């Protein structure tokens, strides 16, 4: 019982010490002075020899040390990429815990490009160099990285150490946020200059959501706010340079050669330049850690430098007109069965997959596009209310059904090898996540068929045989005139 009470008291003492340290960091006028004061307590809390605080630079390309508890005044810098431990944490915005930072195999398990930090390599004679790195975040924005080194006794950092470290990182984030005097949102700069009011900003966000636009695009086109002012506000928030669309810029062919255009359109990023092995990436949200890591994987062996842009400008760089709200569906003259045969011929001649087995091109092949367009056109001409695309078991043909006058009729058999291309094309048109195949998704296709507006509500559903799709056709038109309702004279009067 005495041992239990002693352990409880010890935990309470640690939590009290942690609370005191966090309060001191939040309330201090000068952060570095406060860190000097609490450094001994931090070492006690986490049982480490020393710790370091990195801060993200204004351009977002690097993190730089602003405090070292060992008193070393030398400045350490790390690029925000996967070549260093601190840079990796800044890129992924995830906590990293290593048993031995000098162990090359353990370090490379995080990323194949990772290099052992010379600081730890020089200490390779030690039993181990335990390391704990925690991102310092404010909401979704990276402010810095907190690094704890050399757990006493050479043992790994514990789960409790991670909890304490994250509490410290949270307290530091509030201080760094105040010192950097950055905005509380991408449009705080516009609010502070009174270029837009909070109510107008809320209205712009609502309009953007309803029309499938970005908020900056609505602010520029609907409210007349200069793009330069919008760009400055985005720069202040994301801490990277802003770039507007420039038709004089030629995109780097070497980088684009292995990239799929629909993929770039869906993910809202584009390589703008190739500077001696460093890829300059224009993206609508540089703080999106998942996309940043995907870009690093897609462009292996290259460092990436990020710039922020408006989504519609990124589409312009990719050759897509953002003003073209509604796609025109052009139904081919060929019959559905003929298009299926043509698709089979193309796949047999090698158009079905890339060398690595990926199917990025398949859903965008001309014949697949024509086949889906023909399905929609035929359904509209038949007066169908629904289109069902259903895979079958094993190698059996998939079936396309159309519901006409309440009866669902099979209209086309699609070979099992081709049905997934049709489903993928429909997912692209309805703007749902093409990579998600395990969860149901809902989307919408807005188009014109023979000059008439047409809307389709789309639902995808995973089945044991693959993904199935249901499209409901909703003709867009004016309400039926009152005198065409065929009401009785009495009801007309009432």
In a domain, 493, yes or no: no
Give the residue-averaged pLDDT of 450-479: 82
The pLDDT assigned to 435 comes to: 79
Q: pLDDT per residue over 364-413, tens digit each?
A: 567 788 888 888 888 888 889 999 999 998 888 899 999 998 899 898 88
Of 180, 205, 221, which residue constitutes the final position of a domain?
180
C-alpha to C-alpha distance for 131 and 148, rounded to whole angstroms: 6
Does residue 307 share a domain with residue 192?
yes
- 359 pLDDT above the threshold of 70: no
* Sign of torsion over alpha carbons 290, 295, 297, 301: negative
Residue 304 near residue 61, CB atoms below 8 Å: no
- 120 pLDDT above the threshold of 80: no
Does residue 98 share a domain with residue 206?
no
Q: pLDDT grade, residue 288 (50/70/90)?
A: confident
Lowest mean pLDDT: which of 199-203, 259-263, 356-360, 455-459?
Answer: 356-360
In a domain, 482, yes or no: no
Q: pLDDT per residue over 12-46, tens digit each?
A: 577 788 888 888 887 776 777 788 888 898 888 88
In a domain, 20, yes or no: yes
In a domain, 470, yes or no: yes
C-alpha to C-alpha distance for 419 and 422, rounded to whole angstroms: 5
Give the residue-averaged pLDDT of 319-331: 62
In a domain, 27, yes or no: yes
What CATH number does the domain containing 333 carry? 3.30.450.90
Q: How many CB atoms lie within 10 A of CB 285?
A: 18
Q: How many CB atoms lie within 10 A of CB 356?
A: 7
168 is in which domain, residue-wise?
2-180
Q: How many domains does the chain have?
A: 3
Of 132, 155, 180, which residue constitutes the final position of a domain?
180
The pLDDT assigned to 365 comes to: 64
Does residue 195 share a domain with residue 174?
no
The pLDDT assigned to 349 comes to: 52
Greater confidence, 221 or 327? Answer: 221
In a domain, 104, yes or no: yes
Which residue is listed with tokens 């044991």? 464
C-alpha to C-alpha distance for 81 and 61, rounded to whole angstroms: 9
450: left (phi over 0), alpha (psi -120 to 50) or beta: left
For every residue of 389-450, DSSP letters joined together read EE--STTSPEEEEEEETTEEEEEEEE-HHHHHHHHHHHHHHTT--TT--SS-EEEEEEEEET
Does residue 209 share a domain with residue 142?
no
The pLDDT assigned to 134 comes to: 94
Does residue 356 share a domain with residue 299?
no
pLDDT over 70, % of the chain: 83
pTM for the full model?
Answer: 0.43
Q: How many CB atoms lie within 10 A of CB 238?
A: 23
What CATH number does the domain containing 279 carry? 3.30.300.160
Give the residue-averaged pLDDT of 154-162: 89
Structure tokens at 281: 């990436």
Does residue 212 share a domain with residue 83?
no
For every residue of 242-310, DSSP letters joined together read B----TTPPP-HHHHTTS-HHHHHHHTEEEEEEETTEEEEEES-TT-HHHHHHHHHHSTT-EEEEEE--
């Amino acid at each position: 019982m005495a041992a239990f009470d002693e352990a409880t008291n010890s935990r309470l003492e640690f939590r009290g010490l942690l609370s005191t340290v966090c309060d001191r960091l939040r309330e201090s006028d000068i952060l570095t002075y406060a860190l000097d004061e609490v450094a001994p307590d931090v070492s006690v809390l986490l049982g480490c020899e020393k710790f370091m605080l990195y801060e993200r630079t204004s351009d977002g390309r690097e993190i730089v040390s602003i405090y070292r508890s060992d008193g070393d005044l030398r400045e350490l810098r790390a690029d925000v990429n996967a070549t260093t431990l601190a840079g990796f944490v800044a890129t992924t915005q995830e906590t990293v815990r290593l048993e031995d930072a000098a162990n090359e195999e353990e370090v490379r398990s995080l990323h194949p490009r990772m290099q052992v930090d010379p600081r730890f390599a020089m200490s390779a004679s030690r039993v181990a160099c335990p390391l704990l790195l925690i991102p310092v975040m404010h909401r979704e924005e990276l402010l810095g990285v907190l690094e704890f080194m050399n757990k006493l006794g050479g043992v790994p950092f514990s789960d409790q150490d991670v909890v304490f470290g994250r509490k410290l990182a949270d307290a530091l984030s509030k201080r760094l946020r105040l010192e950097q005097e950055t905005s509380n949102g991408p449009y705080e700069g516009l609010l502070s200059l009174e270029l837009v009011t909070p109510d107008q900003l809320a209205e712009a966000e609502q309009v953007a959501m309803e029309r499938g636009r970005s908020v900056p695009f609505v602010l520029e086109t609907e409210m007349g706010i200069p793009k330069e002012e919008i760009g400055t506000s985005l720069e202040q928030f994301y801490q990277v340079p802003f770039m507007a669309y420039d038709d004089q810029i030629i995109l780097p062919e070497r980088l684009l050669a292995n990239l799929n255009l629909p993929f770039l359109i869906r993910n809202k990023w584009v390589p703008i330049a190739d500077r001696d092995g460093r890829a300059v990436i224009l993206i609508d949200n540089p703080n999106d850690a998942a996309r940043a890591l995907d870009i690093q994987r897609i462009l292996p062996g290259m460092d990436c430098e990020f710039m922020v842009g408006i989504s519609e400008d990124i589409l312009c760089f990719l050759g897509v007109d953002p003003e073209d709200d509604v796609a025109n569906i052009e139904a081919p003259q060929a019959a559905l069965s003929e298009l299926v045969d043509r698709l089979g011929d193309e796949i047999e001649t090698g158009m079905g997959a890339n060398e690595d087995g990926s199917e990025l091109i398949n859903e965008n092949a001309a014949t697949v596009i024509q086949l889906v367009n023909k399905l929609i056109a035929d359904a509209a001409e038949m007066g169908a209310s629904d289109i069902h695309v259903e895979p079958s078991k094993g190698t059996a043909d998939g079936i396309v059904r159309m519901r006409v006058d309440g009866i669902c009729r099979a209209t086309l058999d699609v070979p099992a090898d081709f049905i997934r291309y049709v489903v993928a094309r429909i997912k692209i048109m309805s703007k749902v996540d093409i990579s998600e195949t395990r969860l149901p998704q809902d989307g919408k296709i807005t188009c014109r068929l023979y000059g008439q507006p047409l809307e389709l509500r789309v639902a995808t559903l995973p089945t044991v045989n693959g993904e199935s799709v249901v499209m409901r056709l909703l003709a867009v038109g004016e309400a039926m005139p009152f005198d065409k309702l065929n009401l009785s004279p009495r009801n007309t009067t009432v």
